[in-house]
Structure 1
Amino acid sequence: MSGDPSCDVAHGTVPAEVGHRGLVAVFDTPVAQHLVRYAKDLGYEAFVYEPSSALPSLDESYDVVVTNHHRDELGTVLRDVLAHPVRWVGVMGNPRHEGPHVQALKALGVPDEQIARVHRPVGLNIGSRTPPEIAIATIAGLIADRNGRPGGFAF
């Protein structure tokens, strides 16, 4: 043991102390498949959710990432997710345009304070272009947020 808890965890001499972490990747896309795979490697309980099945009960340990903002079910899925006390909700998409989720949720009568819970963009700005890169940026952003950090290289 080095006396530095971070070093001890990194060297595998002590286990990392993390509580339950869950990740729901909404819509079965290539990004969702990578998100789930990487999240499981990081100790998350992770799965892909398609709205053809019932949304399971989700608590405050879950993060939810919508991986396709073009689906017709976008509003209803987000409305249903927002009914749960999840820790974090985000929708992938171009941050230079208002997300289509805003109008979809307003049309369903979702209050503005609930709509404001939805983050966009998601992940760290690392110039991601491929599904694996997008998944890595997203997971890194979620970890930074969970740890109260801004992400990037600012320490």
Structure 2
Amino acid sequence: MVAGFDSIGCALAHGAVEPAADGRALVAVFDSPVATHLMHFAATLGYRVSLAEPDLSAATIDEQTDVVVCDHDRPELGAALRDALASPARWIGVMGSPRHTGPHVAALRELGVPEEQIARVHRPIGLNIGSKTPAEIALATLAGLIADRNDRPGGFTF
């Protein structure tokens, strides 16, 4: 926490925390405990952060923005991903188990999104650290985003 502010996001918004020089941004789609932790960690690391709930219409997305959909069971999933794919976002991912096909595939197909666009959606996301809690899932996700941004594989391979 930064002295004098209720949250790291508030401190960042008031200039008490410097944003990253590279202009990186993160949009968390759909409010959830994971989204709360993800935005907190990202703001601490200098990302411009925002929450899109329930859609992306109010979010500012540029070429430095990573879009993370934090709930794969929402009825707005397809529309949110379609809009993210139409944006200049650097990276787009949706949380979910790697053990089964994500519902985003069918949702995007129903909206007529071409297969090559659907393939741009990352799932699962984050580093494989055995995350269980919302904070651990957010940490693994952000670590994966940083590895991807820095063209690194993540994990302990150097």
Same fold (TM over 0.5): yes
| RMSD of equivalent CA atoms | 1.5
Provide the residue aligned with 2:130 in structure 1. 127
Query: Aligned equivalents of 1:130 and 1:57: distance in 2?
Result: 29
Output one character per residue of 1:96-132: Cα deviation in whole Å (capped at 9) or x when no partner.
Answer: 1111000000000001111011000000000100000
Percent identical: 65
Q: CA deviation at 1:58?
A: 1.1
Distance 1:153 1:53 in 2: 35
| Bigger Rg, which one | 1
TM-score between both structures, scaled by the size of structure 2: 0.85
Residue 52 of structure 1 and its aligned partner are, at CA, apart by 5.6
How far has the Cα of 1:55 moved from its partner? 3.6
Task: Note if 1:136 corresponds to 2:117.
Answer: no
Over residues 55-114 of structure 1, what are the superposed CA-to-partner deviations in whole Å (9 max), with x where a residue is unaligned?
Answer: 434111000010100000000111011110100000100011111000000000001111
User: Which residue identity lines up with residue 36 of structure 2 in the other structure?
Assistant: Q
TM-score (norm 1): 0.86
CA distance in 2, matches of 1:100, 1:53: 19
Counterpart in the other structure of 1:77: 80
Q: 1: distance between equivalents of 2:88 and 2:72?
A: 22
What's the offset of the Cα at 1:47? 1.4
Q: What is residue 56 of structure 1 aligned with on the other side?
A: 59
- Alignment length (residue pairs): 140
Structure 1: give runs of 5+ residues left out of the alignment: 1-16
1:39 aligns with 2:42: yes
Show CA shifts across 1:7-65 (max 9, x none).
xxxxxxxxxx7410000110000000000000000000011110267243411100001
Q: Does 1:93 align with 2:99?
A: no
